[in-house]
Amino acid sequence: MGEFYNRIIELEALNQHWQSDAAEFALLYGRRRLGKTYLLQKFLSEGRPHCYFLAAQTSVTANLLELAQTMIRTSPESGYTVADLSTIGNILRFAGSLAREHRFALILDEFQYLLEQDPSIPSQIQAWWDTEGIRSKIFLVLCCSHLGMMEGLGGPQAPLFGRFTFRYKLPPMTYRDIALFYADSNYSTRDKLMAFGILGGTPRYHALFDSRKSIGANIDQHILSPIGLLRHEPEVLMLSSQVRDAAPYNAVLGALANGCTKPNEIKQVVGATSAQLTFYLRNLMELEWITREYPFDEISDRRAIYRINDHFIRFWYRFVDRLRSVLEFQDYRDVYTASVQPRLNDYMGLHPFEDICHQFLKAKGADVFGQVIRRASRYWSRDGSLEIDMIAELADGSYLFGECKWSSSEVGVPVYYSLRDKVARMPEKYRNSVRYILFSAAGFEESLRATARRDGVVLVDAEDMLA
């Protein structure tokens, strides 16, 4: 295997369940490219007896044939033939026989392809688990990338409800995890944060970037080049997610990437009815490509806005999709120089850096402030005249207000005073006990540092974020 970064919690959970004496039945799922398969390979690389099977988009007969052959190769001395293992029930019984006395793992990866072709498979697994599997030492893992389908597998009406002994939804990596990909590089802290802002928390993408080359050279090679592996990535992801008509989804994502956040704004750009737009937005949220966001202390859907959840998807629709025609007729390196590089700082300052700051608060806020952060989000007023990058409620009932600045120069005192002016316009209940935090990727002027020491303002620069 290549380098393996983080996923410590997930590996520890798998190891703990492996070491139990009981039968284990796990559900591992998450978005594509997040490293589910790599995690399982790392877990199995310790010499654990196992059969790993990657289902394909083919018929259930072809998949079961391949699974049977894989099982036989795992234990050729068993005497089983392919004909003996023509059903999922027989395959499970074979796996159970290998797990009578000792642990044996059966990993069914991309399980959704089996389920799509034969919806009865969960019922067959249930019948085997209830009568035989639960009394063995089997370590059975269903792994897949179809979020809605997998979440439904353990639902109250599903055959496998209550059977899973362990279920985990693999999240994207955080910016701190991603920085590990560039630990031995010459990248500055700012470069590492920018790499996260461009590629997001998907480890597969960062494994492509060559940290001996600049961020710009990597964007050229892997994203803008006609033969770059990420040039058509969202289209590939849509196809693999079985989106039937990609056109309206592309339009929605393009609108979001270029600043439309409210349903009426998106609807006008897309040319869809309200019902159609609701359908598209719901499907994109199920894919976890977008999220619905509410201002701090608000729960009304009328106040909700939509944002792209994945930074690479946002970057691709902000630049690649928008520059598609230009990229067809100009050298992609010239396109980067003219149309991407000058806008990278603006791009980072809009959403990616805010996300990084919120991640920092979630991970380190309790240490910084000595108390639990109950909740945090952005805020915007009903009339759009007031926006604050971060509001959080602390355990003692006080409120924390923050600004996130991705700039090329150090942040000075005016940013702090501007934030105080914004807070003065907030409802009185938020102003009784107030604390402040300022984030800056480029650092802070000494005058602001002196003011912060006097007023108890927390300052967080790029180095602090990765300390």
The tokens describing 354, both together, are: 């805010």
Domain 352-465 has CATH 3.30.70.3040: no
Q: Which residue has the tokens 């026989």?
A: 97
pLDDT tens-place string over residues 133-179:
999 999 999 998 876 776 778 778 889 999 999 988 999 999 999 99
> In residues, how long is the chain?
467
Delimiting residues of CATH 1.10.10.10 domain(s) in the chain: 177-342
| pLDDT at residue 238, as a whole number | 87
CATH class, range 177-342: mainly alpha
pLDDT under 50 in the chain at which residues? 1
Amino acid at 114: L
Delimiting residues of CATH 3.40.1350.10 domain(s) in the chain: 352-465
Q: Which residue has the tokens 């496998």?
A: 160
- Going along 55-175, which residue ranges are E strands? 104-109, 138-144, 166-169
For residue 404, give the nearest of 361, 441, 450 by alpha carbon: 441
| pLDDT at residue 244, as a whole number | 80
pLDDT tens-place string over residues 21-75:
899 999 999 888 888 988 998 899 888 999 999 999 899 999 999 999 999 998 8
Spatial CB neighbours of 45, under 8 Å, sequence gap ≥ 6: 1
pTM of the model: 0.90
Number of other residues whose CB lies within 10 A of the CB of residue 425: 11
Q: What are the strands of the beta sheet with 387-394, ordered from one edge?
A: 373-380, 387-394, 399-405, 434-440, 458-461
Nearest-5° angle of CA 28, CA 33, CA 36?
25
For residue 8, give the nearest of 166, 145, 173 by alpha carbon: 173
- The correct CATH number of 8-169 out of 3.30.450.40, 3.40.50.300, 3.30.565.10, 3.40.190.10 is 3.40.50.300
**CA pair distance 228, 343, nearest whole angstrom:** 21
Delimiting residues of CATH 3.40.50.300 domain(s) in the chain: 8-169
